[in-house]
Chain A
């Protein structure tokens, strides 16, 4: 059995760990509120954008000559996957969930003989993917310096994606991120952004009789690159809310576990203290008896 001193030290160390996790939980809770707020505030923009694009793509007369970002390059060979993760660890299954989702998608692609290219956003995803898919990663972007998800960063990623698309480096682009549902649940998502999936929103009644100035094609080709940045920005916002939520519940669990451990160790400490006292008493008594 460990000595009394060792136990005391262990209790102290678990307690200080508990303090850290508790603090991290509270910080995450505060950040979560802010992230959630900005995710909600960002929603109108992407919704309106979607709506306009929906209206535009319905109004387009010549589907054959639609902008490539909408209709795709006509091929389906090279897939670009943008995997968006966090820059910091200690957030439970947040990063692993995205990676798991991405890896199963990668496996499916390779099975079907498609070529795979990866862009990682966030250093944690890069760390986890570079072992298995190191040669496939063409870029790694990290926004460690920026405190909040901001549109400027999203635009940077968007620009890279569009550049590579215009250089015909890939045909299909999918982004991976965690959708924030609530503090406990985050759903890893795979969303295709090039070519744009208009069908799934078709049920929102398309409204016609819009006037377009200049014509639909021109507006679309101006709008679609923006939409890509917007989608990426939306993913970033969802991701940052999810990250904080996930970290909060992970740290909550850690704090609780540390508490349990302290209890267990304290009981053990008391037992061995009593055992030592009893032992000493026996020694004294038997010493007195032998006289």
Chain B
């Protein structure tokens, strides 16, 4: 039996990525990292800032996302996100900028706990990339 399934990542303005030979995907779901294999139960969840790791026959790819929604159904994984970057494409100084913006956000005092949590996650993830 094959172990592959399909993944599709869509941005609001275009289809970002589409692969058919994926064997495992790890997504930063809101309540913790979640690994998805073939024949996973149908699920809907949303993402916190983190890294999406895609294991495919053709190699491993990593993407940084800030938010998004995932839906898994009939061995089709759809990821809807408005902010996604391929880790290979992020340059050092761009990363530093992102960290700075994220830190500013996290240091705000007038935001709700949930936003604060998300911002902290962002800082953590970005720093781990450094």
Cβ A48 vs Cβ B46 within 8 A: no
Residues of A within 8 A of B12 (CB): 42, 45-46, 151, 154, 230, 233
Interface pair A49/B80, CB less than 8 Å apart: yes
Segment from B37-45, B51-59, B89-97, B98-106 that makes contact with A? B37-45
Contact B43 A210 (CB under 8 A): yes
Complex Cα distance, B34 from A289, in Å, reads: 110
Which among A38, A41, A55, A213 has the highest number of chain B CB atoms within 10 Å? Answer: A213
Let me know if B43 and A151 touch, CB within 8 A. no
Q: Interface residue tally of chain B, by bracket?
A: 20 to 34
| Size range of the chain A interface in the assembly | 20 to 34
**Complex Cα distance A38/B12, Å?**
10
Main secondary structure of the interface of B (DSSP, over half): strand
In the complex, which residues of chain B have a beta carbon less than 8 angstroms from the beta carbon of A51? 71
Is B123 part of the contact surface with A, judged by Cβ < 8 Å? no
Asked if A42 and B80 sit within 8 Å, CB to CB, the answer is no
B3 at the interface (CB under 8 A from A): no
Contacts of B10 in A (CB 8 A): 44-45, 48
Q: A210-B44, A212-B43, A213-B45 are in contact. Are A45 and B31 (CB under 8 A)?
A: no
23 contacts between A and B (CB under 8 A): A38-B14, A41-B13, A41-B14, A44-B15, A45-B13, A49-B69, A49-B80, A51-B71, A52-B80, A151-B11, A151-B82, A210-B43, A210-B73, A211-B43, A211-B44, A213-B29, A213-B30, A213-B44, A214-B30, A219-B69, A222-B46, A230-B12, A233-B12
